[in-house]
Structure 1
Amino acid sequence: MLKVKDLVVSYGGIEALKGVDIEVKKGEIVTLVGANGAGKSTLLRAVVGLVKSKNGSIFYEGQEILGQKSQNIVTKGITLVPEGRRVFPNLTVLENIKLGAYFRKDTKKIEEDIQWVYSLFPRLKERSWQLAGTLSGGEQQMLAVGRALMSNPKLLMMDEPSLGLAPLIVKDIFNIIKEIREKGVTILLIEQNANVALKIADRGYVLETGKITIKGSGKSLLQNEDIKKAYLGESVAK
C-alpha cells in the first residue's frame, strides 16, 4: 500500500532522514520505534506532504505522491493524527468531528461514520456539544482519532497517540487501534511506548538518527536484546 524509498529530508542543511526505506502492506499495523529526534515525525509529515523531501520516492497504491499537495493526499485516503492532538479548542466535539469530513460529499455516509466514531468513543457522544478545549487529554486524543477517521482513510498514520496519557487510557486507545484495523483501515504508528506498540504491530522498524537500523515482525523486535535495552527498559527485559 505504502512504499517509501531512499527518502531524504533536510532541515537547514541537517539531514533528518538519511535514505529511509519502509513498506506498509494493506491491512497491517506497522510501528516506528525510536528516540526523540530520530526522524519519526518527519517521516509521517513527509508522507502527507507537510515537509519537502530532498530525495527519494513515496508510492501509495502504486502511485508516486511525493510533491503532491496535502489536501490531494488526504483525498486519496491517507490521514495523519498529529502529535499533541491539535483539536480546535473553541469548537464543540461534534464540530471537530465534522471537520474531519471536510473534503467529503457523501452526506449519508458521513452521518453513519459519526455514529461509528461515537461507538468507538462513547465519551465523545456524551460530550458532543462540549468545547474541545475543555476535554481531558485522553478525551482530546480520542477526538483527534475520531476526527481523522471522518476523512474515511485507507491508511491512518498516528504520531504518539499515548503521549501524556494515563495507563488505563493508553490501554483503551490501543484496543481501539486494533478495532479500527479490523474495520479494514491500515495503520502506521509512531509510539514512544515501544512495548505496547510492538505487541499489536504486525511489523516494526527502528529509526535511529534518520536511518532504519532494525526491522522485523513486532514479536521478533520485542525479543531483540538491543531493543529491550534501548526502548523497553530493564524491567521489561527481565
Structure 2
Amino acid sequence: MLKVENLHVYYGGIHALKGITLEVPENKIVTLVGANGAGKSTTLRAISGLVTTAEGKITFRGEDITRTKTAEIVKKGITLVPEGRRIFANLTVLENLNMGAYARNDKDGIKKDINNIYEMFPRLKEREWQAAGTLSGGEQQMLAIGRALMSRPALLMMDEPSLGLAPLLVKEVFKIIKDIYSKGMTILLIEQNATAALQVADYGYVLETGNIVLQGPGKELAANEEVKKAYLGKVQ
C-alpha cells in the first residue's frame, strides 16, 4: 500500500533521514521503533507532506505522492494522529470530530461515522458538548484518534499515541489500535512503548540516527537480544 524508497530529509544542516526504505502492506500494522531523535516522527511527517523530502520517493497505492500537499494526501487516504494529540482545545468534542471530516461533503456518511466513533468511545458521546481542552489525557487521545478516523483513511499513522498516559490508559490505547486494525485498517505506528508496539505489529523497523538498522516481524524483533538491550530494557 505504502512504499518509501531512499528517503532523505534535512532540518537545516541536520541530516534527519539518511536514505530509509520501508513498506506498509495493506491491512497490516507496521511499527517504527528507536530512541528519541532517530527519525521516526520525521518519517511520518515526510509521508504526510509536512516536511520537504530532499531525495527519494513515497508511493501510495501505486501513485507517487512525494511532493504532494498535505490536504491532498489526506484526501488520498492517509491521516496522521500527531504526537501530543493536537486537538482543538476551544472547540467541543463534536466540533473536533467534524473538523476531521473537513474534506468530505456527505452529510449522512459524516453523521453515521460520528455515531460509529461514539460507539467505539462512549466517553466522547458523554462529553459531546464539552470543550476538548477540558478532557483528560486519555479522552483527548481517543478524540484525536476519532478525529483522524473521520476522514475515512485507508492508512492511519499514529505518532506516540500512549505518550504521557497512565499505564492503564496505555493498555486501553493498544486495545483501541487492535480494534481499529480488526476492522480492516492499515496502521503505521510510532510508539515509545517499544514492547507493546512490537507485540501488536506484523512488521517492525528499528531506526537509529536516520538509518534503518534492523527490520523483521514484530514478535521476532521483540525477542531479538540486540533490540531488547537497546530499546526494551527500560520499558515497563
**How far off its partner does 1:107 sit?**
1.2
Q: Which residue of 1 aligns with 2:25?
A: 25
Give the letter for the 1:73 counterpart.
I
Q: What does the per-residue CA deviation read over 1:66-107, in whole Å, with 9 as the maximum and x for residues that have no partner? A: 101100000000000000000111000010011000000111
Q: Which residue of 1 aligns with 2:68?
A: 68
Q: How does 1:155-234 map to 2 (within 5 A)?
A: 155-233=155-233
Contact residue 8 and residue 20 of structure 2 kept, 8 A: yes
Uncovered stretches (5+) of structure 2, i.e. residues with no partner: none
Contact residue 19 and residue 211 of structure 1 kept, 8 A: yes
Q: How does 1:14-53 map to 2 (within 5 A)?
A: 14-53=14-53
Counterparts of 1:235 and 1:102, CA distance in 2: 38
Q: TM-score, normalised by structure 2?
A: 0.98
- Name the Cα RMSD after superposition: 1.0
Matched, 1:80 2:80: yes
- 4+ residue stretches of structure 1 with deviation over 3 A? none
SS at match of 1:16: strand
Contact residue 228 and residue 234 of structure 1 kept, 8 A: no
Name the stretch that deviates more: 212-221 or 102-111: 102-111
**How far off its partner does 1:120 sit?**
1.2
Counterparts of 2:40 and 2:235, CA distance in 1: 25
Q: Which residue of 2 aligns with 1:57?
A: 57
Give the letter for the 2:21 counterpart.
D
Q: Which residue of 2 aligns with 1:97?
A: 97
Q: How many residues align?
A: 236
Q: Aligned residues: percent identity?
A: 66
SS at match of 2:233: helix
Uncovered stretches (5+) of structure 1, i.e. residues with no partner: none
SS at match of 1:41: helix
Q: TM-score, normalised by structure 1?
A: 0.97
